[in-house]
Structure 1
Amino acid sequence: MGSLEEWSDAMVPSDSSSSIKVFPNLRDLTISDLPKLAVLPDMENLTSLKELEIQECGSLACIRNLNSLASLESLHLYSCPALLDASLDMENLRELIISGCDKLNPSLSNNLEKFTSLERLEIRSHDPGCWPIMVLHRLANLRSLTLGGFSDILDLDHFPWPHSITNLVSLETLRLYGWPKITSLPDQIQHISTLTSLEIWEFEGLEVLPEWMGSLRNLRELWIGDCSNLRQLPSAEAMRHLTNLNELRIYNCPLLAKRCIKGSGAEWPKIAHIPLVVIDFNKV
């Protein structure tokens, strides 16, 4: 692991000719807490770099020559609100996590479909209108997808989701973060037959989980958190269809937790057969 603060002497000032001139064998680089950094130095010499993480760089507007990092497999961008351009066009990238970089989203929308090797994608954004969701169905190798992170001022009453997801044939893990105005989950999820893990967080307007969840026959793990008004699981019949479900975790969902009390809760008969049930960190 490397930190840019530790290597400041190895860099020239961040002008048009700047570059990171040493560490050609570096495999993992973290750049963090540099509020005045506006342009990241060129990194063409980092030919062995596999993982790059950039976080808490509030003035960073541009990352040059990322496409020259042919060996890069993992890119994490956190809390860089001024970032406009990262020159993202890396066919070998396997993992992309972006959170708190809303200005970058339009550029990402135009390039994401080129990431043919992408296996994990996480986008946390306050502006879902800029999400690259319309190209998700082109990411045939995607195994893990996380979407969400909205601000409370949005007037959306539904979760934005692409109409076509037929090519998500490898997706195993789906993690969604909602917001208070949403009262339902995207119906399209029921068609992702490959899902083995589903996490639902911060859907405060959701009261009942949909009946179609019973069609997720390969589901092994179901996590539900911070859904303060959720009180009911799908029907007992739908839950019985989840024959592979062996783990149910419920966190900070007081109404549902009360109804899942072992032996006496109204929802308990629906989940009694599940090998591992955890409610608020307590195994039931």
Structure 2
Amino acid sequence: MPNLKGMLGREVQGTASTLWVFSRLQSLLFVNCPMLTLPLPTMSSLKRLYIDSCPNMAWASISNLTSLNSFTIRYIKGLSCFPEEMLQNLSLLQSLKILKMKDLRALPRSLASLAVLKVLDIEGCPKLKSLPEEGLRGLASLHELHIKECYNLVSLSMGTKALKSLTHLSITWSNATALPEEVKHFPALQVLDLRHFPNLTSLPDWFGDHLTSLQHLTLGVCPKLETLPSSIQMMMTLRSLTIRYCYLLGLRCERGGEEWHKIKHIPYLKIE
């Protein structure tokens, strides 16, 4: 809808609150609406919001949607940062996905207001170099963090120490030469997925000492990775190890190889 500027709201005057036409709406998607500039009305029942290719959205007005459970933003060209107000008041938000934002350089500190957020997906943000330290401190309920195609995101920030409930972490398509140091602060981590790390040469020595709850580890397309940390032998909680297209490491991890003694205690092994 190339000419759509906003949503038509019908106000009922003389009441304590404003009643809108969309008072029962639960799911709302905006796709390819370049002229959408007017603030979103208050919609007290809205649970799901999806915005794709709407570069002129009135981002601050999203704070009016206080019942949101799921919020996805995708393909917004030219936007380097969001206003701090955008995430304020979204106290019920459980899933936030920020996808294919090629100009995004920073996430708002107001992430910290998302007290019940469980899933955070960040994908296709090549200019993003770190996560906001203040913004992560409020995410004590976060269970899943997925980072994809954020090639220059080499640091997760020390704010990740607050992520005591994180059980799933995936990082794919990264130029990092090492696993971010902050990963050691995830005591509840059960699933770790690392794929498409062309420059990764090794995993840190602290790997097995700190990730004491890890059950499933996947390493994929890490062509320079040759060895596993010795501490992996002490990871008695590890139930599965999958190694895909890590040509140097894969050969060394086969039965009888140089790395075999480190992983032979793991019940499920898959090496491709």
Range class of TM-score, shorter chain = 0.7 to 0.9
Distance in 2, matches of 1:40 and 1:199, equals: 39
Corresponding residue of 2:193: 199
- Secondary structure at the aligned position of 1:65 is classed as helix
Instruction: Check the 8 A contact 2:66/2:92 in 1, yes or no.
Output: yes
Aligned to 1:250: 243
Q: Is the 8 A contact 1:24 1:46 kept in 2?
A: yes
2:25 and 2:105 map into 1 onto residues whose CA distance is: 28
Residue of structure 1 equivalent to 2:14: none
1:114 alignment partner in structure 2: 113
Using the alignment, how far apart are the partners of 1:184 and 1:205 within structure 2? Answer: 8
CA deviation after TM superposition for structure 1 residue 254, in Å: 1.8
Matched to 2:149, the amino acid is G
Identify the residue that residue 4 of structure 1 maps to in structure 2.
none
Provide the secondary structure at the position in 2 that maps to 1:244.
Answer: coil
Q: TM-score, normalised by structure 2?
A: 0.80
- Shift of the 224–41 alpha-carbon distance from structure 1 to 2, 3 Å rule, reads farther
Secondary structure of the 2:158 match is coil
Measured at CA, do residues 110 and 266 of structure 1 come closer, stay the same or move farther in structure 2, by a change above 3 Å?
A: same
The residue number in structure 2 matching 1:149 is 149
Secondary structure of 2:182's partner?
Answer: helix
Structure 1 CA distance, aligned partners of 2:188 and 2:49? 30
Distance in 1 between the 2:58 and 2:103 partners? 11
Number of corresponding residues: 257
How far has the Cα of 1:230 moved from its partner?
A: 1.0
RMSD after superposition:
3.0
Determine if the alignment matches structure 1 residue 78 to structure 2 residue 74: yes
2:257 is aligned to: 265
Shift of 1:267: 2.1
Identify which of 210, 222, 231 aligns with 1:227. 222
Q: Which consecutive residues of structure 2, in runs of 5 or more, have no partner in the other structure?
A: 11-19
- Whole-Å Cα distance in 2 between the matches of residues 120 and 221 of structure 1? 19
Q: Distance in 1 between matches of 2:157 and 2:60?
A: 31
Letter in 2 for 1:147: I
Q: What one-letter code is carried by the residue in structure 2 that aligns with 1:14?
A: L
TM-score normalised according to structure 1 size: 0.77
- How far 1:218 moved relative to its partner? 0.6
Secondary structure of the 1:145 match is: strand
Q: Which amino acid aligns with 2:178?
A: S
Counterpart contact for 1:147–1:177, Cα < 8 Å: yes
What is the alpha-carbon distance in structure 2 between the residues aligned to residue 135 and residue 177 of structure 1? 22
Shift of the alpha carbon at 1:145? Answer: 1.5
Is the Cα–Cα contact under 8 Å of residues 130 and 154 in structure 2 kept in the other structure?
Answer: no
Is 1:91 equivalent to 2:83 in the alignment? Answer: no
Aligned partners of 2:181, 2:204: CA distance in 1, in Å?
A: 8
Identity fraction in percent? 28
Distance 1:19 1:258, change over 3 A: farther
1:51-66 → structure 2 map (5 Å cutoff): 51-55=48-52, 57=53, 59-63=55-59, 65-66=61-62
Q: Please state whether the residue corresponding to 2:147 is helix, strand or coil.
A: strand
The verdict on how the C-alpha distance between 1:186 and 1:128 changes in structure 2, with shifts beyond 3 A counting, is: same
Which aligned runs of 4 or more in structure 1 are off by greater than 6 angstroms?
none
Distance 1:195 1:130, change over 3 A: closer
